[in-house]
Amino acid sequence: MPANPGQRRGSEKQKKKRAAAQQARKARNAALKSREVARANAEPEVEEGAAPHPFATDEVDYDAVDEANEEIGKLLKKKKLDEAEEKARELAAKFPSISDGLQRLAEVLEKRGDKKGALAALQEAQKRPNEGDEEAADEIAAAIARLS
């Protein structure tokens, strides 16, 4: 009999927890892989005879957009405007079909005192509709009105 039987039970519980976590990771990875395969095989739905959207991309990774927005927000709070501007420009270039990058860029430029640059970024952002996101359109319009 071990010196401390409770210790042995604890390590067995840890082994079971690790095994369960590993199974969950495997299942999650398998689900992600199957989604990627399905996306790769899916054809975009475009009405017959319709012109492609001027900012059309394959697909927007909204998780990546959210992460970039969070990172830019943190940089702004730390007053690291050069890094924030660089990230905002990267976001705008990587996802040209949405306005998030340009909105963040306008925010950085406004904090720097470059109201003309901020206004130009917002006017460009207005041309990039966020499908189904009227709140973003309202925010852009309000910011343009504030800077004008």
Q: What is the pLDDT of residues 115-133, one digit of tens each?
A: 999 999 999 988 886 766 7
Crossing angle (nearest 10°) for helices 81-94 and 62-77: 160
pLDDT for position 114: 93
- Helix residue ranges per DSSP H, 1-148: 5-41, 62-77, 81-94, 100-112, 115-126, 134-147
Q: What is the pTM of this model?
A: 0.59
Domain match, 13 and 66 both: no
Taking only the tens place, the pLDDT of each residue in 107-116 is 999 999 999 9
Domain match, 119 and 72 both: yes
Residue 49 lies in a domain: no
Residue 123 lies in a domain: yes
pLDDT for position 103: 92
Whole-angstrom distance, CA of residue 66 vs CA of residue 92: 13
Whole-angstrom distance, CA of residue 79 vs CA of residue 120: 22
**Residue 55: is its pLDDT beyond 50?**
no
Residue 69 lies in a domain: yes
Residue 82 lies in a domain: yes
Mean pLDDT across the chain: 79
Domain match, 75 and 142 both: yes
Taking only the tens place, the pLDDT of each residue in 62-94 is 888 889 999 999 999 999 999 999 999 999 999
Whole-angstrom distance, CA of residue 32 vs CA of residue 13: 29
Contact 91, 60 (CB under 8 A): no
CATH number at residue 105: 1.25.40.10
pLDDT for position 67: 92
pLDDT for position 18: 79
Domain match, 79 and 112 both: yes
Domain span at residue 10? Answer: 1-43
pLDDT for position 19: 76
3-state class (DSSP) for residue 94: helix
Residue 85 lies in a domain: yes
Residue 20 lies in a domain: yes
Contacts by residues 113-121 (CB-CB < 8 Å, ≥ 24 positions apart): 115/147, 118/143, 118/147, 119/144, 119/147, 119/148
